[in-house]
Amino acid sequence: MKNQLRISNCVIAMFAILISFQVQADNHGEALHLTSISSIHSTNFGIDQGEIEEIKRAMQTAVDGEFLPGALLLVGNSDGVGLLETVGMQGPEDNTPVNKDTIFRIYSMTKPIISVAIMTMVEDGLISLDDPVEKFIPEFANPQIIDHETGATRPAESSITIENLLAFQSGVIQAIFSPDSDLGKRYAAELPGDSTAQEFAASLGQLPLYFEPGTAWHYGHSTNVLGAVLEIADGKTLDLVLQERIFDPLGMDETSFFVPVSKKFRIAEPIYGDAMTDNTIPRKMLSGDGGLNSTTEDYVRFAEMLLNGGIYRDNRIIEESTLDQMRVRRIGDDVSREYFFYGNTGDWGLGLHLQPTTDDANGPHNFGWRGIGGTFFAVDEENDFYMIYMEQKWGGPPSPFNANVAQRMVYEAMMD
């Protein structure tokens, strides 16, 4: 009888442990894994039920008006998630509600992941912020600066450094953000289509720069070049570099450049956005600019790690001092803001936006970035929270609810 009692107690204990781990599996019976999302009360963030209902009504307005099929908004910190609201469906032809396991094309939310990976290599001594890019990609040697008026070129005064790439002060731009410039037209005409990250970076290196490195800020293909640098410095393809340095330690097992066809039923699709690619079709290009797909469940891990000074559940990804270095403002008085998205508001670190959270332009700042398909995340150390907003939209009429509205409403609820 005593042995039976011991066995019964053991069984009960085992069930208790399993329940406490909050495991989950998808509808096709994929491997169980620990969830990154545990619930705490929204009042931990100063948000009451009435404010949650107001936010959800605003989200629902965008769905009811057929601006987007569905959306998700999450607010959390190291203690748990206090707000997780979803509206609508994964796609216009889909009857599956948006949920924490819905797969989104996160586009430029890839960039902060690449930037963190670069900084882990800086910590390991494989890369230095002062390294000239031609150390890794010879085609960037002897860079030329294009004259915006004549299209003529002249030798640059200095090489592009790794820091220039992280700070978007490299002179490397992107056709979509400068379509009418001579260089933008050359990008559109001369850069290869489906090429590898290293082939693409080598082609960029043979084109002129938009300005002298370090003298201005301009969004562009800088992070694609960093992706190629990661491959060369580590001797592996970019997917494996990220797997080893970021995804495996964080348990981000559903963040990838391409989605298995078996998971296609979980991919969010837009009402508007024919330009969105079929992310189940593998391509040569592993884009550091914007090639990743992810879930809210997965990205919570990355955001919480950043909020927690570089550590997630006892796994340190990056040193806190290195993360602090990434959040130092890089647009000084000697750097032109002519092309900066926010004009005189906010700043830019090493691969991260720095946006003031009060009326004081000098901060404090949150940090993060967004994807062109509607996704967004921000980490606010001062107020101890991160937020993630997920939708899938590209083009079409302006929506009454988007990442900007989500951020404003969250801050208003918290500060009320």
- Summarised one tens digit per residue, pLDDT across range 55-67 is 999 999 999 999 9
Choice among 104-108, 198-202, 347-351, 394-398 with the minimum mean pLDDT? 394-398
Mean pLDDT over each residue of the chain, to the nearest integer: 92
Quick one: the chain helix, strand, coil %, rounded to 5? 35, 15, 45
Shared-domain flag, residues 28 and 170: no
Q: Which whole number is the average pLDDT over 289-293?
A: 97
Distance separating alpha carbons of residues 66 and 296, to the nearest angstrom: 22
**Between 4 and 193, where is the model more confident?**
193
Which of 58-67, 210-219, 264-273 is least confident?
264-273
Same domain, 261 and 215: yes
Give the pLDDT band (50/70/90) at residue 6.
very low
Instruction: Categorize the per-residue pLDDT at 275 as very low, low, confident or very high, splitting at 50, 70 and 90.
Output: low
Question: What's the CATH number where 280 sits?
Answer: 3.40.710.10
Question: In the structure, what pLDDT confidence band is assigned to residue 2 with cuts at 50, 70 and 90?
Answer: very low
Which residues have C-beta within 8 Å of that of residue 160, sequence separation ≥ 6? 132, 133, 140, 143, 170, 171, 172, 209, 213
Shared domain check, 329 and 282: yes
Q: Both 27 and 82 in a single domain?
A: no
Q: Average of pLDDT values for 333-351?
A: 95
Question: Poorest-confidence range of 44-48, 117-121, 254-258, 394-398?
Answer: 394-398
Say yes or no: 254 and 369 in one domain: yes
Three-state secondary structure string covering 8-28: HHHHHHHHHHHHHHCEECCCC
Is the pTM higher than 0.75? The answer reads yes
pLDDT band at 33 (very low <50, low <70, confident <90, very high): low
Check if the beta carbon of residue 369 is closer than 8 Å to that of residue 29: no
Together in a domain, 26 and 89: no
SS3 347: strand
Whether residues 219 and 365 share a domain: the answer is yes
Give the domain extent around 20. Answer: 2-34
Mean pLDDT of 146-161: 96
Do 346 and 288 reside in the same domain of the chain? yes
Render pLDDT for 96-109 as a digit per residue (tens, 0 to 9): 999 999 999 999 99
On the question of pLDDT at 382 being above 50, the answer is yes
pLDDT band at 277 (very low <50, low <70, confident <90, very high): confident
User: pLDDT value at position 12?
Assistant: 34
**What per-residue confidence (pLDDT) applies to 14?**
34
Percent of the chain past pLDDT 70, that is, above it, reads: 92
Q: What is the average per-residue pLDDT within 379-400?
A: 96
What pLDDT was estimated at residue 18? 33
Do residues 151 and 257 both lie within one domain? yes
Residue 286 reports pLDDT greater than 90: yes
pLDDT given at position 274: 74
- C-alpha distances (whole Å) from 155 to each of 44, 103, 147, 172, 222 are 56, 45, 11, 15, 20
Same domain assignment for residues 27 and 101: no
**What is the pLDDT confidence band of residue 16, given thresholds at 50, 70 and 90?**
very low
Which among 213, 217, 150 has a CA at the least distance from the CA of 183?
150
- The total domain count for the chain is 2
Degrees to nearest 5, angle at CA 202 with 233 and 119: 30
- Alpha carbon distance 139, 410 (integer Å): 46
Judgement on whether residues 106 and 6 belong to the same structural domain of the protein: no
115 and 145 co-located in one domain:
yes
Q: How far apart, in Å, do the first and last CA atoms of the chain sit?
A: 60
195, 284 Cβ separation under 8 angstroms: yes
How many helices (H) and strands (E) are present in the chain, helices listed first?
12, 15
